[in-house]
Amino acid sequence: MNAPTPVAAAEAMAAEFERRAAARQLVVGVLGLGYVGLPLTEAFLGKGFKVLAFDPDAEKIAAIEAGRTYIRHIDDARVAAMRDSGRLALTTDPARLAEADALLMCVPTPLNVHREPDLSFVEACARTIAAHLRPGQLVVLESTTYPGTSEELIRPILEAGGLKSGADFALAYSPEREDPGNIQFGATSIPKVVGADTEPERRMAIALYSTLTQVVPVSDLKTAEAVKLTENVFRLVNIALVNELKVVYESLGIDIWEVVDAAKTKPFGYMPFYPGPGLGGHCIGIDPFYLTWKARAHGEATRFIELAGDVVTAMPRRVVGQVSEALSSRLGKAVRGARVLVVGLAYKKNVDDMRESPSLEIIERLRGRGAEVDYHDPFIPHALDMPEHPEVAGMSSIAWSREALAAYDCAVICTDHDAVDYAELVQTVPLVVDTRNATAKLPAELSDKVVKA
């Protein structure tokens, strides 16, 4: 009997995968149990799948086994529910990846010191999979990256052992759309973009993700990769625009926050974005520069994106300048020797993620000008040791009390956590520089102590 043709083999592979996905008989492998991988694990468990959760960090595995969270917005009860589902297998052993039918790569994609893509985590993850790849598996990259990564980097690594994408196994790309701390949208309510280079591979990815949420299929891998970059570029340029408008309106004596609140009442043709002390997190301040790097490789310029990056990266320096001006004009003090409290170390409200937070640069710049700087963040008791921000290493959040607050000359609100008592802050500290409009609803008699920045 003749062996099936590659096309027939691919069709048979896809049909079997679709059947097992519909019956919840697949084992879903999640590689990387961070801000993307842990919610994805929870989502597939919630839909009745067995999940093989892999992470080389034994401390994360131990935390889940103990029912203890390491991500603030996913509480202990949710972690314990995953553990107790009876369908979760936790491992640091890459050999167990052969047990999974789908392997979802949820690893970091940072920039290196030259602001170029650092795909070392993606490459290492792909090589780990390749060492244990078997026929019939679906491999999906979820990490944000430049168009061409799956085709040019991941596929050759996976095929090095002899199995062929589209015939022996499937390769797809489905960008994560996780928004940490957002209680309105999660993995089962945000539509999932899916791209693959052949129809059978695309069908397999659609079959998997459609068990979670609405799926938006696109024609190929690089188109799906471009979708996620487009989303984040859109946010970058609009955040840069509103920050530039803030600077202009400030010089004209106009409050940008009042302008945006009024403008957003227009039911069409406008979407509100808000200014702040700079960009943070693992997405908006990093991902667009994956595209600028790829564009340069093809002889194209991304002037608009790079200009937006220049605008937002200048904001921490501007905030420090405004703190200096406010100390001088309001209190007759210089920055040198002033006691300054940075309120909020996280990059956004109500999360415990300090990656790329503008607060880090603001602390370093204030200390560089001679200020004595502490921070308070209800969700980050101790600052992570980050080599790129040595000034912050070893810092711990101060305990919140009127007595402690009274020791500071100035407080700088960098993150507008809901858990902070802003009225008490303004009542107690002589000067408050507010970069997030967190004090907007305070009584008018307190407003004289606040400088918006």
Is-contact 52 29, C-beta < 8 A?
yes
Residue in 55, 38, 208, 72 with CA at minimum distance from that of residue 125? 55
Which domains can be identified in the chain, with CATH numbers?
Answer: 6-219 (3.40.50.720), 229-311 (1.10.1040.10), 314-452 (3.40.50.720)
Report the predicted TM-score, pTM, of the whole model to 2 decimal places: 0.91
Task: Give the C-alpha separation, 143 to 183, whole Å.
Answer: 22
Q: Judge whether 414 counts as a catalytic residue.
A: no
Is-contact 177 190, C-beta < 8 A?
yes
pLDDT 10s per residue in the chain (453 long)? 566 788 899 999 999 999 999 999 999 999 999 999 999 999 999 999 999 999 999 999 999 999 999 998 899 999 999 999 999 999 999 999 999 999 999 999 988 877 788 999 999 999 999 999 999 999 999 999 999 999 999 999 999 999 999 999 999 999 999 877 777 788 899 999 999 999 999 999 999 999 999 999 999 999 999 999 999 999 999 999 999 999 999 999 999 999 999 999 999 999 999 999 998 876 777 888 889 989 999 999 999 999 999 999 999 999 999 999 999 999 999 999 999 999 999 999 999 999 889 999 999 999 999 999 999 999 999 998 887 888 888 999 999 999 999 999 999 999 999 999 999 999 999 999 999 999 999 998 888 899 999
**pLDDT for 265:** 98
Residue in 282, 356, 275, 370 with CA at minimum distance from that of residue 320? 370
Is-contact 196 205, C-beta < 8 A?
yes
Amino acid at 45: L
Using alpha carbons only, how large is the chain's radius of gyration in Å?
24
**pLDDT for 2:** 64
DSSP 68-105: --SSTTS-HHHHHHHHTTS-EEEES-GGGGGG-SEEEE
Angle between helices 199-209 and 6-22 in degrees, nearest 10:
10
pLDDT digits (tens, 9 = 90+) for 39-86: 999 999 999 999 999 999 999 999 999 999 999 889 999 999 999 999
- Torsion over CA of 69, 75, 342 and 321, rounded to 10 degrees? 100
Task: Give the C-alpha separation, 376 to 421, whole Å.
Answer: 12
Q: How many helices (H) and strands (E) does the chain have?
A: 16, 13
Residue in the block written with tokens 């989303």:
231
**pLDDT for 190:** 94
- Identify the active-site residue in 125, 283, 410, 414: 283
Long-range Cβ pairs for the range 329-333 (8 Å, 24+) = 330/430, 330/431, 330/451, 331/409, 331/410, 331/430, 331/431, 333/409
Is-contact 307 240, C-beta < 8 A?
yes
Residue in 344, 353, 231 with CA at minimum distance from that of residue 281? 353
